Homo-oligomer: A and B are copies of this chain.
Amino acid sequence: MNDPSQNAILLIHCPDQHGLVAAISRFVSGNGGNIVDLDQHVDTEQGVFFMRLEWELASFTLPAAEIGPRFAAEVAKPLGITWRLHFSDERPRMAILVSRLSHCLYDLLARWHAGDLPVEIPLIVSNHETLRPVAERFGIDFHHTPVTPENKPEQEARQLALLADYGIEFAVLARYMQIVSGAFIAHYPERLINIHHSFLPAFAGARPYHAAHARGVKVIGATSHYVTEELDAGPIIAQDVVHVSHRDSVDDLIRKGRDLEQLVLARAVWHHVQRKTLVYGNRTVVFD
């Protein structure tokens, strides 16, 4: 029996071809599912089809456990579809990696605490002790993994072990300020979300606010993206900007930028958790 309050969410991409929408929607309707949300996109240049389909399980005649196998056999395999199936009552387990800045951490914890972010947050990891009291305030385990150039492989191994121990599905780098290795990333492909404090691709790398001030820009931005091996070059999930002027010192840019950073990161995490993001090549489809 399906939980009647539960929805199924199907994320799909495949080469574009005739009849995809009809075939996929027939699978849902034919088994008694009521579609409550359908987002679809075709990248006509590259000929790729994307879809996010959400339907009510209350009236669905297939048990939850059979949906995946049946969809695979009847639809996905014949049509060459890559897919992921989620359920609306999942609460993915999320870790937060931080350094010494607290604003993004507080913002995520406040959203989680208010019930606005349907995740579990069992683990905070940091290369500094600074934010341990924040973790303790929220009753979340805090582990200190002091990374240095010399011990990076060991510390990353410790971090990976922690993530595994806590059953972490995805991790958020909330101004973590450390470059994670390709080996680390390989364990969490499309499951590490970073916030960079500039409107990428401008001002990648260190000290973007100083660079923005030196260039005399009139807008500053923040960018949240999935982490890939190339620094600050992963698929962008969310970006936003704010106007600035000659009156803003570097410190003002940093202050105004903090508000952007926490907002943009929270939006990216929310879309990720709502299973509204799809990555292809170095780009994202973000349904909203």
Listed in ascending order, the chain A residues whose CB lies under 8 Å from chain B are: 18-22, 25-26, 28-30, 32-45, 50, 59, 101-103, 106-107, 109-111, 113-114, 116, 137-138, 199-203, 215-219, 221, 235-241, 243, 245-247, 249-250, 255, 258-259, 263, 266, 281-286, 288
Contact = CB atoms under 8 A, between A and B. Distances in A.
Given A40-B40, A216-B281, 18 more contacts: A18-B32, A21-B38, A43-B246, A103-B110, A103-B114, A110-B110, A137-B138, A199-B217, A199-B221, A199-B241, A200-B217, A201-B217, A216-B235, A216-B283, A218-B238, A218-B286, A259-B263, A263-B263
A57 to B, nearest CB: 13
Contacts of A202: 199-202
14 contacts: A18-B34, A20-B35, A22-B25, A40-B40, A41-B247, A106-B110, A106-B114, A199-B221, A200-B215, A202-B202, A216-B235, A218-B239, A241-B241, A246-B286
Copies in the complex: 4
B45 A284 contact: no
Contacts of A101: 114
A247 B288 contact: yes
Nearest to A245: B286
B137 A114 contact: no
A218 B255 CA distance: 21
Nearest to A111: B103
A270 to B, nearest CB: 8
A258 B255 CA distance: 20
B45 A249 contact: yes
Contacts of A50: 246
A28 B33 CA distance: 21
A190 to B, nearest CB: 14
A36 B47 CA distance: 10
Contacts of A240: 219, 243
A260 B282 CA distance: 26
Nearest to A17: B34
Contact of A236 (B33, B34, B218): B218
Contact of A201 (B109, B215, B288): B215
Nearest to A237: B218
Contact of A29 (B19, B33, B259): B19
Nearest to A109: B106
Given A199-B219, A216-B282, A236-B216, A110 B116 contact: no
